[in-house]
Structure 1
Amino acid sequence: MYALDLETMEEQQLTAYHTAYHASTWQSIPEEFWFSSFDGTKVQGWIMNPPVITDGKVPLVLQIHGGPHSAYTNMYSYEFQSLTAEGYAVLFVNPRGSVGYGQDFTNACRSDFGNGDYLDIMSGLDHALETYPHLDASRLGIAGGSYGGLMTNWIIGHTNRFKAAVSQRCISNWVSFYNSSDIGIAYAEGIVGGNVWEDTEKLWERSPISHVQTMETPLLLIHGEADLRCPVSQADELYMALKRWDKTTKLIRYPNSNHGLLKNGKPSYRIDLLEHVRKWMAQYL
């Protein structure tokens, strides 16, 4: 714990409870980079590496944040650390829609879901593969929660580059989401730009579930049954659609768990969740 003097901006460390633990435990430190996206926009990203690096041999998991109006930093993430400890590199970027880069950048994804934001993410992936020779381009995973789960669903419907995917607390169908989420009307009209009466085709076309027949990436769906932000029916719909078309998928539902399952849910569920992710990545990467 630290105290910050707002007049001098000097920091004072108050506690050091974890010093001994950190001294004896390996951690992956995020490495920052910037890249030019498809249209020249500068986008920030980070990569975290596993303890052992061999050129061309390290599988990569692309992580996508929620929001979309939130942002990654060079933060500590037990979710990401659990992956690097298993031998994966982890890539995360702040595509348009992220906060912290000015209002225009934050607004750039609104009424344009699945276009510029999607291309920013994929440009970041291409940059990482070109920049870091230890990454194995043939073993790519993708994962995300909330908006990140939505984008994960969208991406595997538009490319087969990934060998494994994990989608948590996701959106799969904008049409059904519109009238079932606690923010459905405002969110769908803001991010996609339409309502279910006048813009049904637009909402459906921008729904990952409408592209289910082209999804070939094995997809693990994880959802809390008490989620009001992204109702569990969103995972149910995509799971059933994938099963209908004989795709590889698995659905895990956690009882009495809301949208914050991964961040502040029941500890035993959070541990179980990370174990399911570990096994899924290990099986397909």
Structure 2
Amino acid sequence: MLRTLLAALAVTFALALPAIAGKPATAPAAFLSQTDCFEATPDYTSWLASIPQRIEDRPLSRALVESLVPAKAFAFARSAFDCRIVTYASGEQTVSGYVVRPKASATARELPLLVYNRGGNGTYGRLDSLQVFLKLLPLAKAGYVVVASQYRDSDEFGGKDVDDVMRLIDLSLAMPGVDDGRIFLLGQSRGAMMSYMVARQRGDVTAMATIGGVSDLLAGLAWRPEMERVYRARIPGYDSNKQAALGTRSALRWAEQLPADMPVLLLHGEADDRVNVEDARAMADRLRQLERPYKLIVYPGDDHGLRQNWRAARTEILDWFKNAGPLRKGAK
């Protein structure tokens, strides 16, 4: 199962091998620190040694990692992309994240900003050096400046950690070579909730896409009651007002507050055992009722991570963002 998942993601990366050259871009001084993603692992051998032997409590063999990211791909990534691990201030918290972009081309054109919002909670689901190859670099290859927050350690599952994403966007828009007129949000699982909450607060998001995304935590809790352990541990004041805490984090309940001309793409596996596919269908129905631009794609038999259809899903996402301008104009 793990091999199937990572192999599907590897297909994504395999498509990401163009010829891009130039000098690396630098982040603004507002970042507290920025370190090259490969500073601690400058060669392939050291990078391989840094990859954990288990992922999500499943074994991850060295042979599998080498098949997903061979030495040639590692060398290419080092030459073609500027990848930074950054830290930044968000309120009183210091938050870490990634900034990944193709190295400057000869035209030095401005690139759109793509904000990837991860799933999970706390340390579970945090991005690591392998996921940089499998998730972030392919998006950067498509011509985006890709940023991703790890969220604060005191994760509130849609509370003040939303500010962490907002702050990262603002810092990223201040970087040279970033087009502040094209901002895209890609949220996976819990990251969809984060994306909706960010979009509600901003008027500059061009379009967003979700993968196995949650938009109704109240209905989701009834379907998957074990999530209450996460909510109780992370959401401030959860026990005193559960309905309000979950409603605030449920875009289905306030979809009319999303930007009216922001196209939303919803991708969901019909066999998802973590977020019910009915969540995506309900959100699509609500967007239809509001006459908002949207598209829902349900993949029969597929799971939470769309392992069987990851390549097709990635194409849908990139096409959605590429055509977001005309969609917005049509919605006005």
Task: Give the TM-score taking structure 2 as reference length.
Answer: 0.69
Instruction: Provide the C-alpha distance between the structure 2 equivalents of 1:222 and 1:55, rounded to a whole number of angstroms.
Output: 33
Secondary structure at the aligned position of 2:223 is classed as coil
Instruction: Provide the C-alpha distance between the structure 2 equivalents of 1:23 and 1:232, rounded to a whole number of angstroms.
Output: 39
Give runs of aligned pairs for residues 1-285 of structure 1, distance below 5 A: 2=48, 18-20=70-72, 27-37=80-90, 39-53=91-105, 57-69=110-122, 70-75=125-130, 76-96=132-152, 105=153, 108-110=154-156, 113-130=157-174, 132-181=175-224, 183-192=226-235, 194=238, 199-216=242-259, 217-261=262-306, 265-266=307-308, 269-284=309-324
CA deviation map 1:92-112 (0-9, x unaligned)? 12111xxxxxxxx2xx234xx
Instruction: Provide the C-alpha distance between the structure 1 equivalents of 2:248 and 2:80, rounded to a whole number of angstroms.
Output: 42
Instruction: Provide the C-alpha distance between the structure 2 equivalents of 1:93 and 1:198, rounded to a whole number of angstroms.
Output: 28
**CA shift for structure 1 position 51:** 4.6
What are structure 1's unaligned runs of at least 5 residues? 5-12, 97-104
Amino acid at match of 1:61: L
8 A contact 1:65–1:147 mirrored in 2: yes
**CA shift for structure 1 position 190:** 3.8
Aligned in 2, Cα 1:60/1:258: closer, same or farther, shift over 3 Å? same
**CA shift for structure 1 position 252:** 0.8
Instruction: Provide the C-alpha distance between the structure 2 equivalents of 1:215 and 1:56, rounded to a whole number of angstroms.
Output: 30
**CA shift for structure 1 position 77:** 2.9
Instruction: Provide the C-alpha distance between the structure 2 equivalents of 1:144 and 1:190, rounded to a whole number of angstroms.
Output: 22
Secondary structure at the aligned position of 2:151 is classed as coil
8 A contact 1:225–1:255 mirrored in 2: yes
**CA shift for structure 1 position 21:** 5.4
CA deviation map 1:228-261 (0-9, x unaligned)? 2111111111111111101111111111111232
Aligned in 2, Cα 1:119/1:55: closer, same or farther, shift over 3 Å? farther
What are structure 2's unaligned runs of at least 5 residues? 1-44, 51-61, 326-332
Instruction: Provide the C-alpha distance between the structure 1 equivalents of 2:158 and 2:265, rounded to a whole number of angstroms.
Output: 21
CA deviation map 1:38-64 (0-9, x unaligned)? x23211122111254466711010001
CA deviation map 1:45-90 (0-9, x unaligned)? 2211125446671101000111122322344333323322221110
8 A contact 1:43–1:95 mirrored in 2: yes
Aligned in 2, Cα 1:27/1:79: closer, same or farther, shift over 3 Å? farther
Instruction: Provide the C-alpha distance between the structure 2 equivalents of 1:137 and 1:20, rounded to a whole number of angstroms.
Output: 34
8 A contact 1:52–1:87 mirrored in 2: no
Q: Structure 1 vs Structure 2: percent identity of aligned residues? A: 22
Instruction: Provide the C-alpha distance between the structure 2 equivalents of 1:280 and 1:124, rounded to a whole number of angstroms.
Output: 23
Secondary structure at the aligned position of 2:303 is classed as coil
Instruction: Provide the C-alpha distance between the structure 1 equivalents of 2:151 and 2:142, rounded to a whole number of angstroms.
Output: 26
How large is the RMSD of aligned CA atoms in angstroms? 2.8
**CA shift for structure 1 position 3:** 5.9
Amino acid at match of 1:160: G
Amino acid at match of 1:78: L
Amino acid at match of 1:281: F
**CA shift for structure 1 position 152:** 1.4
**CA shift for structure 1 position 223:** 0.6
Instruction: Provide the C-alpha distance between the structure 1 equivalents of 2:109 and 2:181, rounded to a whole number of angstroms.
Output: 9
User: Relative to total residues, which structure has the larger helix share, 1 or 2?
Assistant: 2
8 A contact 2:99–2:148 mirrored in 1: yes
**CA shift for structure 1 position 189:** 3.6
Amino acid at match of 2:305: G
Instruction: Provide the C-alpha distance between the structure 2 equivalents of 1:190 and 1:21, rounded to a whole number of angstroms.
Output: 40
